[in-house]
């Protein structure tokens, strides 16, 4: 079971480290990372395996979003199925 963590905002130091630390804290395993600069914004997409997380999905989502907020970044944590069902037949 995978979650997509999308982090969007102005590029700065430590974004990946802090989000990854929050994931590790909740036992989520980062399987893939992709980052890109869109216009002047930084967009980092992480694929995290959440099958062994130590809390509910909602709590995990809130924790990652809180980390993002402390960095001044917008973070969306969404189950991978929404993207696969929308973009793949």
Partner 1 sequence: MTNTRDILETIGMIQEENLDIRTVTMGISLLDCAASSAEKSCTKIYDKITFLAQSLVQVCDAISAKYGIPIVQKRIAVTPISLLAGTDTTANPIDFAKTLDRAAETVGVNFVGGYSALVQKGFTNGDRRLILSIPQALAETARVCASVNIGSTQAGVNFDAVAVMGQIVQQAAQLTQAENCIGAAKLVVFCNAPEDNPFMAGAFHGVGEPDCVINVGVSGPGVVRAAIKRSNDLNITELAELIKRTAFKITRMGQLVGAEAARNLGVPFGIVDLSLAPTNAQNDSVAHILEEMGLEICGCHGTTMALAILNDAVKKGGLMAASNVGGLSGAFIPVSEDAGMIAAVEQGALSLAKLEAMTAVCSVGLDMVVIPGDTPAETIAAIIADEAAIGMINNKTTACRIIPAIGKTVGEELIFGGLLGKAPVMAVNQHSPLKFITRGGQIPAPLQSLRN
- Residues near partner 1 (CB under 8 A) are 4, 6, 8, 31-32, 34, 36, 38, 43, 45, 47, 57-58, 61, 76-88
DSSP state of 29: E
CB of 1 vs partner 1, minimal distance in Å: 10
CB of 74 vs partner 1, minimal distance in Å: 8
Q: With respect to partner 1, which residue has the nearer C-beta, 21 or 82?
A: 82
Backbone angle region of 62, left / alpha / beta, with phi > 0 → left and psi within -120 to 50 → alpha: alpha
DSSP state of 85: H
């Amino acid at each position: 079971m995978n979650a997509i963590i999308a982090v969007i905002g102005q590029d700065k130091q430590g974004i990946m480290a802090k989000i990854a630390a929050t994931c590790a804290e909740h036992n989520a395993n980062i399987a893939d990372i992709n980052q890109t600069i869109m216009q002047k914004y930084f967009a980092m997409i992480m694929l995290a395996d959440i099958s062994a997380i130590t809390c509910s999905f909602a709590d995990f989502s809130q924790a990652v979003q809180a980390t993002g907020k402390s960095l001044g970044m917008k973070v969306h944590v969404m189950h991978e199925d929404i993207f696969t069902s929308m973009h793949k037949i």
